[in-house]
Amino acid sequence: MLPIRLQIYLAHAGVASRRAAEKLITDGRVSVNGTTVSVMGTKVNVDDVVSLDGIPVVTETSFLYLLLNKPPEYICSSSDPQGRRLAKDLLPARIQERLYNVGRLDYRSSGLIIFTNDGDFAAKISHPSSNIEKEYLVEASGHIPDTVIDDFARGVVIEKAFYRAKKITRIGGKAIRVVLIEGKNREIRRVFSHFHLHPVALRRIRIGNISLDGLVEGASRPLTPEEIDGLRRHSKR
């Protein structure tokens, strides 16, 4: 193996996406051959010993791609100091590989989320430039005015951040269907809060070419080769 950048090595090891691996490095949590590395640009060879928090990591020889239908009140994180239930614990116990979620769904939201140990794949499909659509069903506690739908479709600035739905349609007095591209943190909830609305249910039903398609809450399944290829092709656009 030719020398590769340390963040790429960590991504191949299933530790994190490249972007998240860069933060691990700058936080001083990564060492190479016993020496802490905290700056970008370091390259490693196949015979180097790379450790995270003192524990050696190795590159993955096979990759897993799982789709989970996350129920509400599960957190997308490797641990939680508040003791809340973890979405990753819903994955089959037989899986020994270290998987991490691609993107997030907040604690109260439900729906599709992908888990993998393929860092390159995760980085590509989660980056805003991938233009991969995420579709949500949102139910509010009260009537959603047409002006809210129109403003979200045109774009709205909230605390200096710009939020705009690629597509938004009404499916009931209190419910809408929203398609997003960038997927900024808590985007739908921030827009709803801006208009003094409260979403009582927020469910992601599609990621690119992948939909719920009968997968019950709390259940997971492997992505098919066709689904994986479809997401990869889309991320190159």
Task: Provide the 8-state DSSP code for 34.
Answer: T
Q: Is 106 a catalytic residue?
A: yes
Q: Measure the CA–CA gap between 230 and 210, rounded to whole angstroms.
A: 9
CB 147 within 8 A of CB 120: no
Q: What CA–CA distance (Å, rounded) separates 50 from 126?
A: 25
Q: Exactly one of 27, 47, 106, 229 is catalytic; name it.
A: 106
Question: What is residue 1's three-state secondary structure?
Answer: coil
**C-alpha torsion sign, points 106, 107, 110, 115:** positive
Q: Distance between CA 88 and CA 76 in Å, rounded?
A: 7
Neighbours of 216 (CB within 10 A): 8
Which residues are known to be catalytic?
Answer: 106
